[in-house]
Amino acid sequence: MKTKGTGQPQETEPVKLPPPETAGGLSLMQALQERHSTRTFSGTPLPPQLLSNLLWAAGGVNRPDAGLRTAPSAHDWREIDVYVTTAEGAYRYAPPTHMLMRLDGAVSGDIRYLTGVQDFVPTAPVNLVYVADLDRMGEAGTEDKAFYSASDAGFIAQNVYLYCASVGLAVVVRGLVDRDALGTALALGRHQRIILTQSVGYPADDAS
Ligand SMILES: Cc1cc2nc3c(=O)[nH]c(=O)nc-3n(C[C@H](O)[C@H](O)[C@H](O)COP(=O)(O)O)c2cc1C
């Protein structure tokens, strides 16, 4: 991992994801029944199709006419960016194009270990990072920005929990993270705040 810490990540090389599969999985009520946190992962990478489905569930566009998302956001600010860290590198998910924007220049390599402080964190093939861009939140005051960005990230995290429950993936949302270290690694600016992180992968006893 190398960082420049300049406050502005360079985004290069968009990575096209397969279109999300929006059918299948457990019913909503079954997924609610199955939803739980897991902290052991097999380490097997997620195939592109599952990553595509996961990110669409997290906050993809479900009403293309208006660009609206699978997760609600206060005032439709859409201020939460989903960053994706894997063994290959770090990316920002771009919902309008359903692409991954590779962070380059400021960030390279595997920074999964920086997305949490618990030992299992780097063993999960995907660690999502929910980053609020406070500049998108209009004239809201500091307290409102903190409240609404935390709420909005929570909806995304629950979407991810339910998607994972519906297809049998292991997942845990996390607030324990060194935000300064991770923010530096992601070259975040002063207007950006890390809210939560979330580990996703196959459960340890199912390496298929
Ligand atoms: C906002 C939030 C922050 C959390 N932070 C962590 C964390 O840093 N590490 C962790 O292992 N679990 C974390 N959790 C997961 C909770 O410990 C877990 O949801 C709780 O024990 C209930 O278990 P369940 O999700 O299986 O119902 C967090 C959950 C929430 C909602």
CATH of the domain at 123: 3.40.109.10
Residue 22: both structure tokens together: 């929006």
What is the pLDDT at residue 106? 55
Ligand 1 pocket mutation pick from 172, 177, 197, 198 by most atoms within 8 angstroms of CB:
172
Any domain includes 207: no
Domain that holds residue 124: 26-89+108-175+191-201
Closest CA to 126 of 136, 117, 134, 116: 116
Any domain includes 184: no
Closest CA to 36 of 197, 207, 172: 172
What is the pLDDT at residue 13? 77
Cα of 171 vs centre of ligand 1, distance in Å, is 10
Which parts of the chain register pLDDT below 50? 1-6, 206-208
Average pLDDT, rounded, for the chain:
93
Q: How many structural domains is the chain composed of?
A: 1
Any domain includes 159: yes
What is the pLDDT at residue 104? 74
Backbone φ and ψ of 51, nearest 5°: -65, -40
What is the pLDDT at residue 43? 85
Backbone φ and ψ of 5, nearest 5°: 65, 35
Q: What is the residue with the minimal CA distance to atom 11 of ligand 1? A: 174
What is the pLDDT at residue 107? 64
Cα of 175 vs centre of ligand 1, distance in Å, is 8
Ligand 1 binding pocket (C-beta < 6 A) is: 36-37, 39, 118, 172-176, 196
Backbone φ and ψ of 53, nearest 5°: -60, -45
